[in-house]
A and B are shown apart, each in its own frame.
Chain A
Amino acid sequence: DIQMTQSPSSLSASVGDRVTITCRASQGISNYLAWFQQKPGKAPKSLIYAASSLQSGVPSKFSGSGAGTDFTLTISSLQPEDFATYYCQQYNSYPLTFGGGTKVEIK
């Protein structure tokens, strides 16, 4: 199975900050990577697919980059509604696997 490792596991940031989250795959996955946002008690919400393509309706403050084994999710200017847990997921091969999550908290 492909292991997905996110870092950091949590971070504290202020409104307006630029935030970057990293996801590393245990082997190359081309650009078959998605990012999700999850708020407490809610289902995950799709943000990014194919490593850098923005899901319809998702604001452009979210961006993704990377290919192969190393990927990043960037939030350009953190807003109160962005405080949540973010997960990456690879879909290069089965079983599909997720990262452990990055919890973004208010500083």
Chain B
Amino acid sequence: NAGVTQTPKFQVLKTGQSMTLQCAQDMNHNSMYWYRQDPGMGLRLIYYSASEGTTDKGEVPNGYNVSRLNKREFSLRLESAAPSQTSVYFCASSPGLMNTGELFFGEGSRLTVL
């Protein structure tokens, strides 16, 4: 019962470095999401994928790219990391094509950009 799995759990980067956060779900869900969590600001949607083959911008997409590799996997890439991207990142998935139900979350990935 893995649910939503994110890797890595922790990462420290220097300004300008790139990295990819990986997310995989084993619940056969159609929709997947990336959020960032910052103190006092809650969770903010970065990108989402309503279904395999589609991706769309959320509230705070600048500085990020995503790939919906297949139905199971949805990755988030930082091409040139900045200190403002220091955050905890959460991947989530939901069952239907229409996001009218429960989101299932991963454990989070803590990223620090120096």
Whether A and B are associated in the same complex: the answer reads: no
Q: Which A residues contact B (CB, under 8 angstroms)? A: none
